[in-house]
Structure 1
Amino acid sequence: MEKITIQSIVEKVLQKEYRNKITFLTGAGISSASGIPTYRGSDGIWIKGTKFHKPEEFGTFEYFLKNPEEVWQFTMFRKKMFLEAKPNKNHEILVELEKELGERFHLITQNIDNLHRRAGSENLFEIHGNNREMKCSNDCKEIIPIPKVISPKNLEEDITSQEIAQLKCKTCGSWMRPNLLWFDEYYNEKTHKKYSALKVAKNTGVLFVLGTSGATNLPMQIARNVLKYGGFVIDINLENNHFTKLLENKKNKLIIRDKSENILPEILKIIKKATY
């Protein structure tokens, strides 16, 4: 029986006329080398929580409606943290992979930190939204950039009255909200590219899962779609996770317990060799 390796999977996929897309699904683990905390790892921010609230309470639309200024202050604190971080080797190699693969490359990320885009990734689906944009909490207007006059904050800094005026919808007067997916919300196409991402998964020959535990619904649906239509799923994470359970007893899978930065250079080398 042939041993399943990254090389054997990639070579098989690139030989196909259909379902030859190579897709990367990334989570917070990709950005940890940039100094951004993960979410559900052993030291993640959703595990440790905040001083006053459990994350599942704080990170909700319901909480925002009651405490919009507090949520915006925290949003701009995180924006400052993201702006001070720099793309790391993981982000850079994914840009190189996109250049090698062209239209066969797709990148789906749960990250809102903008580091993939800053590194140069273009064929990108941000399924949890991003920290660059906002939309009306009453859902009456299009998604727009967060105004530049609203400055990133230190943790103890409040937003100003002038900034609050910029955070009100020009159409209905309701609070604008960050363009993010919160715990009590559902994926959709407009904000989260749900159906576009699932269509990509349907035509994916191999899905590389990098730095995500699969604790939310759409990433798991993406992996299921890849498997359903005959593609491979390669789970590259430090710990067992929800993908591990999904891949039990599946033939089209490979599980690697290592850091993304140790495996991505090998993937790039294999793909460069296979595309020449």
Structure 2
Amino acid sequence: MNELNDIIEEVLSKEKRNKFTFLTGAGISADSGIPTYRGSDGIWVKGTKYHKPEEFGTYKYFIEHQEEVWQYTLFRKKMIENAKPNESHKILADLENILGDRFHLITQNIDNLHRRAGNQNIYEVHGNYREVKCSMDCKDILSIPSNLKGKDIKEELRKDEIDSLKCSECGNWLRPNILWFDEYYDEKTNKKFSALKVAKNSGILFIVGTSGATNLPLEIARTTLKYGGYVVDMNIEDNHFTNLLKGKKRALVVRKRSNDILPVIKEQIEKSIEQGI
């Protein structure tokens, strides 16, 4: 841990490129009881049908099965609303208070737990379940209709819910404001370019609970390295970041759980600030 402490002190002492950025994924919410997306507990179950996420979680599937996708979305919404921020979420909120505008959070999670824990400076690169947009992209991003509540897995949509899920501009279905597997990152929904700008100006990027299975997280890590920042991979297993970081001077791998390592990072940052570093 001495190497990590030295890196934290170095970044804190800089006038420029001194930002602390945390890139989080589903692993950080696992302790809150939310299944990871791709794991064995992340396989979608709908009635007697079984879907792998790469098949179900697509725009193509939504266009053909709008009610089914919304039923599952509202089932997952109920699961998320019943979950509570865990200790890792709370520590990241504390770190934003400690670091102020030097803190940035980029998350792939759509579960809103970071906001509920108190974080505000967040880039939700996979969207979120708080919002909807027209499936034909003809209106701005909107708050999810207030009559849409979480449901049990087999609970059908009511007529008033279906009516509220139609675009007032064109009459087509509204969809969750999330990134599906057959879609591309953009700025409007996913803050792609804003996230990459944060990566460019990061003195250190902590990767927490994400394997880097999609291209933007890898590009964020690659950008931080390119512009001279450190990248710390904090996952319990090797992942898609492993090859990217192999042999890099400004890369550090920590194979520990987030709730074990984040308190250590917080303590070191507080200690360094108190010492005037």
Q: TM-score, normalised by structure 1?
A: 0.96
Letter in 2 for 1:264: L
SS of structure 2 residue aligned to 1:18:
coil
Distance 1:17 1:212 in 2: 29
Q: CA deviation at 1:49?
A: 4.7
For each residue in 1:141-169, what CA deviation from the matched residue of structure 2 results, as whole angstroms up to 9, or x when unmatched? Answer: 01111112112100111111110000000
Q: CA deviation at 1:40?
A: 3.2
2:248 match: 250
Distance 2:100 2:237 in 1: 31
Q: CA deviation at 1:274?
A: 1.2
Give the one of 21, 24, 35 matched to 1:23: 21
Aligned-pair Cα RMSD in Å: 1.1
Contact 1:40 1:213 in 2 (8 A): no
Distance 2:30 2:3 in 1: 26
Distance 2:234 2:210 in 1: 9
Give the one of 4, 22, 38 matched to 1:40: 38
Q: CA deviation at 1:181?
A: 0.1
2:70 match: 72
Q: CA deviation at 1:4?
A: 6.3
Point out where structure 1 has 5 or more consecutive residues left out of the alignment. Answer: none
Q: CA deviation at 1:6?
A: 1.4
Distance 1:40 1:59 in 2: 11
Contact 2:85 2:117 in 1 (8 A): yes
Contact 1:134 1:143 in 2 (8 A): yes
Q: CA deviation at 1:44?
A: 4.1
Point out where structure 2 has 5 or more consecutive residues left out of the alignment. Answer: none
Q: 1:4 to 1:40 in 2, by over 3 A?
A: farther
Letter in 2 for 1:256: V
1:260 match: 258
Letter in 1 for 2:82: E
Structure 1 residue runs of 4 or more that deviate by more than 6 Å after TM superposition: none
Alignment of 1:87-236 (within 5 A): 87-236=85-234
Contact 1:4 1:254 in 2 (8 A): no
Distance 1:260 1:19 in 2: 24
For each residue in 1:78-115, what CA deviation from the matched residue of structure 2 results, as whole angstroms up to 9, or x when unmatched? Answer: 00000000000000000110011000000000000000
Q: CA deviation at 1:14?
A: 1.1
Distance 1:8 1:158 in 2: 55
1:85 match: 83
Q: TM-score, normalised by structure 2?
A: 0.96
What percentage of aligned pairs have identical amino acids? Answer: 61
